Amino acid sequence: MQSVKSTAAGKRNKLRACGVAAAALLLGTAQVSAQENAPYSRYGLGELVPNTHVLNRGMGGISAGYANFLEVNANNPASYSAFKTFVEERSKKAISGRVLLDVGITQENRTLQSPNQTNRFSSANLYFSYVQLGIPLNRNWGLSFGLRPVSRINYKISRFDRLQNPGTGTNIDSAYTEFNGAGGANLPYIGTGYAIKNLSIGANVGYMFGRKEYDTRRSLLNDSISYYSSKHSTQSYFSGLFYNAGVQYKIDLNKKTFLRLGVSGNWKQTLNTSTDLTRETIVRDQTNGDSRLDSAYAETDRKGEVIIPASYTYGFVLEHQDEKGPSWLLGADLVQSKWNQYRFNGARDSVQDNWQIRVGGQWRPEPGSNYFSNVSYRLGFFTGADYIRVGRKLPQYGVSLGLGLPIANYNRLSPGQFTMLNLGFEFIGRGNNENTLKENLFRVSAGFSFSDLWFNKRKYD
């Protein structure tokens, strides 16, 4: 009953399922499922979802120094102070404000390839990017709240290998092993930003919650003896308050051109975890799914902590605004994250401190009767090391294009409505021939920015 012995070994080593999954990537002998699949999401918090607005993604992801009254830049809450209010000249009191609603979705197409192999595996995934609301409270004060995903875990890897006797080195049996992972993290938040002359400060508070589910299923293959399969499963749930903050400072260079400096980020924070462990024998059935035969070990609600590392973004935006002529902006960000601080229930993972440089810009032609003269055109790129490190560093680079497409308002009852469709197109390369797997990712993002004038004081004759 070698399969039962395997589950007993799992009782002595409760993290074996995670270790075997890591070994599968390191060996480079695994086969990847053709369905939606992200093998590197096995590590850390998973594959990090872009935390920037679709508009910013079209410019390489720059956000630290960016602020606009028509978009919500939740990456730097100091930008909320730019939400637009209209003030009555006599009383100097706000009489209306432009309220924003941002909704974003993303479609990803991923191609995976192992070095020195011709086979490629492709997958696609459509997911929700964010929903966020921006409300001006007065001319210098804004409020925002929303929800966005932080990370995703989704992989399925299979492998055939030969088991050996550790004492003699002789072959025992062939084995088929599956490594599966699912989960991710989400963050609802509320934040505010306030400006004192040219200085803006802001902060968000949110409640991060998520899950990590890993399981390893092994079947021994023998022509004469039938073995039961084993399953090692680890399910963890985590949650807790999460904070980030930002600062921006605007420098007027002339009446139409200014420089905005920005810093944003979060410090190291701790969330609570609850983990369930099971080690069992199963009967595999391709039609009806797997069913439990016997449990060798089970533990529920093991308490622990996950440490979310500090991450900081420094940047600037140089912008020229002209209502009658061309407008443009250029910007750059430096992102630094301290992933060596990361711990999950006290254990380290295959992650590292990393950095990323982002550069981008936007150009809008002189407004005119031609529709495309009112479109905003964006371009950007980024480069740096990924936060995941499996054996070697995982280089990452990307280029992006973006469009800001204004949508005409046909609502005569609300002439203050304004709608913008933002599109972002990104090509991202991850890894090289020195890594276990190379990824090419093509990402298309669409964001709708709806805004309207609220709090108008009606006048009646």
**378 assigned to some structural domain:** yes
Range of the domain at 187: 2-454
Q: Which pLDDT belongs to residue 449? A: 94
Q: Which pLDDT belongs to residue 29? A: 40
Give one DSSP letter per residue of 348-384, joined into a string.
--SB--EEEEEEEEEEE----SSGGGG-EEEEEEEEE
What predicted TM-score, i.e. pTM, was given to this entire model? 0.84
Q: Which pLDDT belongs to residue 328? A: 96
First-to-last CA distance in the chain? 91
**102 assigned to some structural domain:** yes
pLDDT digit string, tens, across residues 114-145: 877 778 888 889 999 999 999 999 889 999 99
**189 assigned to some structural domain:** yes
Give the containing element (helix H, strand E) for 23: helix 16-27
**221 assigned to some structural domain:** yes
**450 assigned to some structural domain:** yes
Stretch 25-36: mean pLDDT, rounded?
A: 45
SS3 414: coil
Residues in the chain: 461
How many domains does the structure of the chain reveal?
1
pLDDT digit string, tens, across residues 177-207: 889 999 999 999 999 999 999 999 999 999 9
**89 assigned to some structural domain:** yes
Torsion of CA 198, 242, 106, 97, to 10 degrees: -40
pLDDT digit string, tens, across residues 35-64: 568 889 999 999 999 999 999 999 999 999
User: In one letter, which amino acid is 191?
Assistant: G
Give the containing element (helix H, strand E) for 205: strand 199-221
**459 assigned to some structural domain:** no
Average pLDDT value over all residues in the chain: 85
E strand map for 197-347: 199-221, 229-252, 257-266, 269-283, 291-308, 311-320, 327-337, 343-344
Q: At residue 460, does pLDDT exceed 50?
A: no
pLDDT over 70 for what percent of the chain? 84
**294 assigned to some structural domain:** yes
Question: The domain that contains 332 carries what CATH number?
Answer: 2.40.160
Q: Which pLDDT belongs to residue 188? A: 98
